[in-house]
Amino acid sequence: MIAVPRGAGDATRVVVRAHAKINLDLQVEGARADGYHLLRTLFQSLTLHDLLTIDRVEGPLTIACSHPGVPTDERNLVWRAAERLWECGGRAGPPHGVRVRITKRIPAQGGLGGGSSDAAAALVALDLLWGTRLGADRLAALAGQLGADVPFFLCGGTALGLGRGDVIHPLEALEPQHVLLVFPPFGVSTPEAFRWFDEDAAAGAARVAEDSGTAVGTGDCGGGAIRLGGLVRPVINDLQAPVARRHPEIADLCRRLRAAGAGAAAMTGSGSTVFGLFEDPAGAAAAAAALESSGWRTLVTRCAGREQARPAARLVWTRSSRIH
Ligand code: C5P
C-alpha cells in the first residue's frame, strides 16, 4: 500500500491545540462608546491547552465537549467561529460536514481564555479543512468579531494587546517561567468584572485598591515584577482590586504566592484564576502542595513560546482517504 495524501480536500480529520493564556498585566485606559474598555495588556501563552479534533462527517455541524458544563450549541464560540467562516467562504445555509470534539483541560470562566482559544484554533483548523484560505489579516478580523481576546490566540507567545485587547503586537518571549495556577471555587464573568471596575472607579477606587492589596498608581503594587526585553515591569491587573473587593480570597492568594517565593503573583484577566510565576520548578511545586493542603485546587504549567502556542492545525489522513 502506498500512502499518498493528496491534499486537505482528502483529509478526514484535523487536530489542533488551543493554548491557555494569562495576562501578565492589564491596564484599563478608558471606556468606549460601545461598552468595551480600552486596554493595555500583556498576554502570555501557557503550555496548558485544550485539544480540538475535527472530523469530516455527513450532516450538520455538531460539537461535543469532554467537560459536561460547556455548552455545545451556538453559545459555544467554536460554533460561532464555524458559522462566520462558513459565511466568509460564501457557503449558504448553516455549516455542515464537520464534527468538533473539544478535549477540555482549561477551566472555564477563569480568565485563562479557554473558549476564545478554542475559537481561534477552530478558525485555523476549519480554514484549512474547508479550503477557505482567508489569510492572516481576514482571520484576525474574524477573530476580533468573535471576542476581544480571540485575535491574541491566533498569535500566541508573549504579546501586547491594545484597543479592546484585540490589536496584537507580538513581543519577544518572556524568560521561561513555571506558572502556578490557583482556581478559586467561583468564576467571574468578564462583563461583571468590568462593571465592578466602573462602579469602583465612580466611587473613587484608590482606597479600595489599597485595601485589597493592589494599590493603583504606585510603583510597587505588591504583585511583584517581570523582566521583559531587558526592562523590569510591575505586574498590575486593574480588574483585580474590584474583583478582590467582592472576593477577598483573590488578594489573600496573591499574598500567599508571593510569600511562597513567586517573583510575581496576580489575578489573570477578569479572574477568578490567580497565578504565581516561579523561576524554579521545585518552588512552584512546593507552593502548590502547601495551597492544596489547605483546600485550594492548583495546577503547575509553564510559559509557552509562540512556536509552541500558535494554533498549528495538523491534517490526518485515515485509511479511507489514502490511495491504495
Ligand atoms: O469580547 P468579549 O465577548 O470577550 O467581551 C465580553 C464582555 O467583556 C464585553 O461585552 C464587555 O462587557 C467586557 N469587555 C470590556 N472591554 C474589553 C473586553 C471585554 O468591557 N476590552
Distance, CA of 45 to CA of 73 (rounded, Å): 27
Give residue 62's Cα distance to chain centre.
23
> What residue has cell string 482590586?
241
The residue whose CA is least distant from atom 7 of ligand 1 is 191
Q: Closest ligand 1 atom to the C-alpha of 195?
A: 12
Q: What is the CA(281)–ligand 1 centre distance, in A?
A: 34
Q: Is 61 helix (H, G, I), strand (E, B) or coil?
A: coil
Which pLDDT belongs to residue 320?
A: 58
Collapsing DSSP to helix, strand or coil, 255 comes out as helix
CB contact set of 192 (below 8 Å; sequence gap of 6+): 270
For position 211, what pLDDT does the model report? 54
Residue 134, SS3?
coil
Q: What is the pLDDT of residue 319?
A: 60
Burial zone of 136 (CB within 10 Å; 0-12 exposed, 13-18 middle, 19+ buried): exposed
The residues that are catalytic are: 21, 149
State the distance from the centre of ligand 1 to the C-alpha of 113, rounded, in angstroms: 12
Task: Give the C-alpha separation, 105 to 186, whole Å.
Answer: 17
Ligand 1: which of 27, 32, 34, 36 to mutate, judged by most atoms within 8 Å of the beta carbon?
Answer: 36
- Residue 215's pLDDT is what? 43
Query: From ligand 1's centre to the CA of 127, what distance in Å?
Result: 26
Residues 220/236, Cβ–Cβ less than 8 Å: no
State the Cα–Cα distance between residues 142 and 32, nearest whole angstrom: 20
Q: Is the separation of the CB atoms in 267 and 238 below 8 Å? A: no
Shortest-distance atom of ligand 1 to CA 35: 20
Atom of ligand 1 nearest to the CA of 163: 21
Q: Ligand 1: which of 37, 76, 80, 109 to mutate, most ligand atoms within 8 Å of CB?
A: 37
Q: Are 246 and 196 in contact (CB under 8 A)?
A: yes
Q: Assess contact for 138 and 88: CB atoms under 8 A.
A: yes
- Ligand 1 atom 15, closest CA: 36
Joined grid coordinates for residue 322: 489514502
**pLDDT digit string (tens) for the chain, length 324 residues:** 444 445 566 779 999 999 999 999 999 999 999 999 999 999 999 999 999 999 999 999 999 999 999 999 999 999 999 999 999 999 999 999 999 999 999 998 899 999 999 999 999 999 999 999 999 999 999 999 999 999 999 999 999 999 999 999 999 999 889 999 999 999 999 999 999 999 999 887 555 555 555 544 333 346 899 998 888 999 999 999 999 999 999 999 999 999 999 999 999 999 999 999 999 999 999 999 999 999 999 999 999 999 999 999 999 887 655 443
Nearest CA-CA partner of 130 in 90, 180, 74, 77: 90
**CA neighbor of 242 nearest in space, from 293, 204, 282, 290:** 204
Tally helices (H) and strands (E) across the chain. 10, 13
The Cα–Cα gap between 184 and 295 comes to 10
Q: How far is the CA of 183 from the centre of ligand 1 (A)?
A: 22
In degrees and rounded to multiples of 5, residue 247 shows phi and psi of: -135, 85
Whole-number Å distance, alpha carbon 279 to ligand 1 midpoint, is 32
Helices within the chain (DSSP H only): 77-88, 114-129, 136-146, 150-155, 190-202, 206-211, 240-246, 249-259, 281-293, 306-309
Determine the atom of ligand 1 nearest the C-alpha atom of 149: 4
Top mutation candidate among 40, 146, 194, 243 for ligand 1, by most atoms within 8 Å of CB: 194
Give first-to-last CA distance, the chain, whole Å: 5
CA-closest candidate to residue 98, choices 60, 51, 66, 52: 60
Position in ligand 1 atom list of the atom nearest CA 39: 21
Q: What is residue 4's predicted lDDT score, i.e. its pLDDT?
A: 44
Residue 107 CA to ligand 1 center (angstroms) comes to 19
Name every protein residue with a CB atom under 6 angstroms from any ligand 1 atom.
35-37, 39, 147-149, 164-165, 190-191, 194
Among protein residues, the one with the nearest Cα to ligand 1's atom 2 is 147
pTM, entire model: 0.92
pLDDT confidence of residue 263: 96
